[in-house]
Structure 1
């Protein structure tokens, strides 16, 4: 498979690129900063410099020619403004879906956030705006005729992955290694499972592929 990953220099994306490359797949990493290309190459990915805040859907669709699936793992970052939560976390995810449809790509995996639907609509707190942006992106994708999967991980850690998780509509609070989130994405894409499913993900005691296969659609 040839898989394009928006946010291709993020920690989850770099783990994913290595996983895909090790299994003989092509991971196309969409990055904004060309200086990040060497890290992508080291992980086994193919860097492509595209700024999702400046490109339009038709142009991005052309850039996605030959791609079998897309992953949105981008984010404005913890120190970014409220405005960029919307332009990256919300609008970037929607743009990628528009481009995927334009390019005839059906499979889309979106990395969202636990608690995305629990935002305070009256708050101007940046974190609440971030959750609202994630919720809007998720809702937009759910309405599309695509083979989508929405993963809402708990607190992300840099601990080594265990390969075992708990997946549910609501798992309760918990953490999960970024490496295991990457493994969830890879398994969903390669095995074609958990299609049209949205779930929260934390560390647990169920092997990843078995947990994905048991997700209710």
Structure 2
């Protein structure tokens, strides 16, 4: 059983991840911005810690996640949050979490990014400054993590959807992003499969809905 720190626990992927971790018998600490959000973590079987990632420091976050075996970064500013918060959350909070993991002596770090962010043409998919800021923030956060010296894995899903997962994905260095989508529940299940497989460290993959069972897809590339 692992103890996992979830950064952005009250996000939609974070909530699915807490359910998956509980079902898999893992313990977790959920970092959430609001008091009511931290209480939701308790209701889902974990330890909730209220911290505003935009108003804290690495030492405080390190104290909150001390004793964990792995960190999963799922935080994001969300749609309509503005250009500035894309930088302070999607990039800045990721870098802060890496620094906190290093300070707490936690080597394993899994980051949820987005498909295609290294491709310059991705910035033109949506002609909007918020989209461009989002893509650049995710791209730069991933680059920082890759250079951190931690045992990292980066998962880059295509468009996220709600509803039940299928348990079937396509996982590769690059997937066909045209009209690609994946349920958040399947992203969460993939995170747990990655956590359970040490061979996934140092790997970066895109993922989308597909035809391969999650555990098989992860094992095949590890």
Name the TM-score class by shorter chain: over 0.9
How many Å apart are 1:94 and its aligned residue? 0.7
Instruction: Please say which of residues 38-47 and 3-12 is displaced more in the overlay.
Output: 38-47
How many Å apart are 1:118 and its aligned residue? 2.6
Q: Is the 8 A contact 2:40 2:48 kept in 1?
A: no
Name the residue aligned to 2:28: 27
Q: Give a deviation string over 1:105-144, Cα, whole Å, max 9, x none.
A: 01000000112113449x8711011000000000011112
Q: Is the 8 A contact 1:8 1:30 kept in 2?
A: yes
Aligned length: 215
Match of 1:195 among 201, 210, 220: 201
Name the residue aligned to 1:204: 210
Name the residue aligned to 1:84: 85
Structure 1 segments, 4+ long, off by >2 Å, are 37-45, 118-121, 190-193
Name the residue aligned to 2:51: 50
Instruction: List gaps (5 residues or longer) in structure 2.
Output: none
Q: Secondary structure at the match of 1:78?
A: coil
Name the residue aligned to 1:177: 183
Q: Give a deviation string over 1:2-32, Cα, whole Å, max 9, x none.
A: 1000111011111111111122211111000
CA RMSD in angstroms, aligned pairs only? 1.6
* Distance in 2 of aligned mates of 1:37 and 1:143: 31
Compared CA separation, residues 161 and 62, structure 1 to 2 (3 A): same
Compared CA separation, residues 131 and 144, structure 1 to 2 (3 A): same
Structure 2 counterparts to residues 124-163 of structure 1, below 5 A: 125-163=129-167
* Distance in 1 of aligned mates of 2:172 and 2:144: 21
